[in-house]
Structure 1
């Protein structure tokens, strides 16, 4: 019998919305999984964070952490068929930065809907500027590039999902090492401002790609983790795993061995505070994940299920087994979503 770890970013609602959202859910299987457990723990983040709880958890679980920060770049490169070799590599995400009332703000990268042709064209435009500055730029996919900058070690950079919707002033790197980064950012912004890709996107009422976000620095040659499966996650995260699932149907095929599944279906709705869509996403999880996995625990096909649910502020880590599900005296409840 196998063990499965199910990681669901944004499956914990924010505390101020949690009671109402829990009442709106019709998820009896999830309630049983949350209530009848063999272990559980909840962790809350501090105020000044540079990675979300699930990102920190993944970095530690996969051994991809450097100085307390996720160090995903080299492993993601290998997952996308690139050889990082030596040097200090960063993940580069093309981005849209907009002016709010009093500050700059980065939009959710998922909303860019950048095609391969668009990503490749913007990459080829930016590459000469990077090379002139002494940095190699490598292409992974439309929204996931990599920059080698050996002299930029120590830059204090946050993950893109950490900064989305926030005041970017609080997350921009500071100090002497940040000056070359900002200079390169400005040069590429000016180049992309009049690029045909952005003209075409604006004609289709899509946000222009007017900046890039740098993060995930790593100098290790760690590879992908073949036992990790992913569904509906950003390109860098999919690259860390061994298999991408187009659908969550047919989970029986992955229950024969120990595995981890990261499903990012809830991210866009939660980031946008679209709680109606979030509830519908949780209902789909009930049908496609929670109910089938509860059944496999009860009939013995799955020995242990570990659930890792997170929000921007907290992470809930619990485990359950077939034996734990026999605790009939523990009434199934969604109370732990509100803890």
Structure 2
């Protein structure tokens, strides 16, 4: 493996990357149209001084959402030709936290709660579990022997996320948590066949993030997918009777009854130093959208516009080059500061950018 460069990387412009700036649910557009004009005033002014420099065009049923694709490229984890669902986030964490720089395959494992309905299970936000470290470590210890039989080693990272090391993760595409939160888990499991197409063709369930139209593209037929399905079944049986969940029930907390696998892949080498892209990724809009809370979504836009976006606008007015990426569930558009001619500057005073029209393109 080549040694990291000792020279400092060049600095890129400050980059604000906004996930879920647009959503596929029918409730999104009315929520945006109801926003007070001041809630996106700075965004409109910022866009007036920018030009679009890149468009990441995708589908709402891709395993890796647009904001993760953009961030993966910025951090040197997503090269041309990388398969969907194989941005090696976990391998990067293993290199950083476990100092493992070998060519191993890794995954993230998130202990979680599946809300069981009559026809399918829905993934609840793992943050709602409020797992303590001792609880998380106890669960890992109980689950470890089952994973070891399939050549997988678990490593504790934080209460809501573990690292899993195993060769089967090298080529096993997995769906980001941001794709599955609040949705039918069956549609996003490795090896899902036809479920995604059925889910999307039926249209979005009321108030939930679920695109309509399209067909399943991420059918996976692999030993890894079958192994994961079996492990999830075994863990559901193990966790159903685990004493920890009895204790949580006594405290009126949700039980941990499954796990989610994501961030799979391997790093053949350390990401090249390249350009040091200063990326800020606020999560307020995403969290509001996951909870189907459009009042909170409106508040998040107002806070974002008055905070990070206003700060970026100030730097742009001072002559700095800045970058903004707006992400929906299908696509992401990246803008950079431009230096327009006099005629364009005068014209922009009379034709300000309409943020909602820009966002509708995502």
- TM-score strictly above 0.5: yes
Q: CA deviation at 1:14?
A: 3.7
**Normalization by structure 2: what TM-score?**
0.75
On the 8 A contact 1:304/1:322 being kept in 2, the answer is no
1:306–1:153 Cα change, 3 Å:
same
Q: Give 1:145-184 correspondences, 5 Å limit.
A: 145-174=162-191, 175-177=221-223, 178-184=225-231
User: Which segment drifts farther, 175-184 or 53-62?
Assistant: 175-184
Check 1:201–1:320 CA distance in 2 against 1; reply closer, same or farther (3 A cut): farther
Partners of 1:211 and 1:225 in 2: how far apart? 36
Determine the structure 1 residue equivalent to 2:18: 8
Whether 2:284 is the aligned partner of 1:262: answer: no
Q: Give the structure with the larger strand fraction.
A: 1
Q: Secondary structure of the residue that 1:12 maps to in structure 2?
A: coil
Q: Who is 1:24 aligned against?
A: 35
Residues 59 and 329 in structure 2, CA contact (< 8 A), matched pair in contact too: no
Residues 225-258 of structure 1, C-alpha deviation per residue, up to 9 Å, x if partnerless?
A: 9999xxxxxxxxxxxxxxxxxxxxxxxxxxxx86
Which deviates further from its counterpart, 111-120 or 218-227?
A: 218-227
Taking a change above 3 Å as real, the CA distance of residues 44 and 200 of structure 1, as seen in their structure-2 partners, is farther
| Alignment of 1:307 onto 2:324 | yes
Matches within 5 A, 1:111-260: 111-174=128-191, 175-177=221-223, 178-220=225-267, 259-260=278-279
Deviation at 1:4, TM superposition (A): 0.8
Return 10-19 or 273-282, whichever deviates more: 10-19
CA deviations 1:13-42 (Å, max 9, x no partner) are 447432541441423111111333222555
Q: How does 1:316-335 map to 2 (within 5 A)?
A: 316-321=333-338, 326=345, 327-334=348-355, 335=357
In structure 2, relative to structure 1, the CA distance for the partners of 1:59 and 1:2 (3 Å cut) is closer
Give the equivalent residue in structure 1 for 2:91: 74
Residue in 1 that maps onto 2:65: 52
For 2:74 and 2:312, locate their aligned partners in 1 and report how far apart those are by CA, in whole Å: 22
How many residue pairs match? The answer is 309
- Residue 37 of structure 1 contacts residue 319 of structure 1 at CA under 8 Å; is this kept in 2? yes
Distance of aligned partners of 1:84 and 1:101 in 2 relative to their CA distance in 1, 3 Å threshold: farther
Structure 2: which 5+ residue stretches go unaligned? 1-10, 192-220
Measured at CA, do residues 40 and 329 of structure 1 come closer, stay the same or move farther in structure 2, by a change above 3 Å?
farther
Unpaired segments of 5 or more residues in structure 1?
229-256
SS of equivalent residue, structure 2 residue 107: strand
Q: What secondary structure is seen at the aligned counterpart in 2 of 1:50?
A: coil
- The normalised TM-score by structure 1 is 0.80
Is the contact between residue 6 and residue 308 of structure 1 (CA under 8 Å) also seen in structure 2? Answer: yes
CA contact (8 A) 1:36 1:330 kept: no
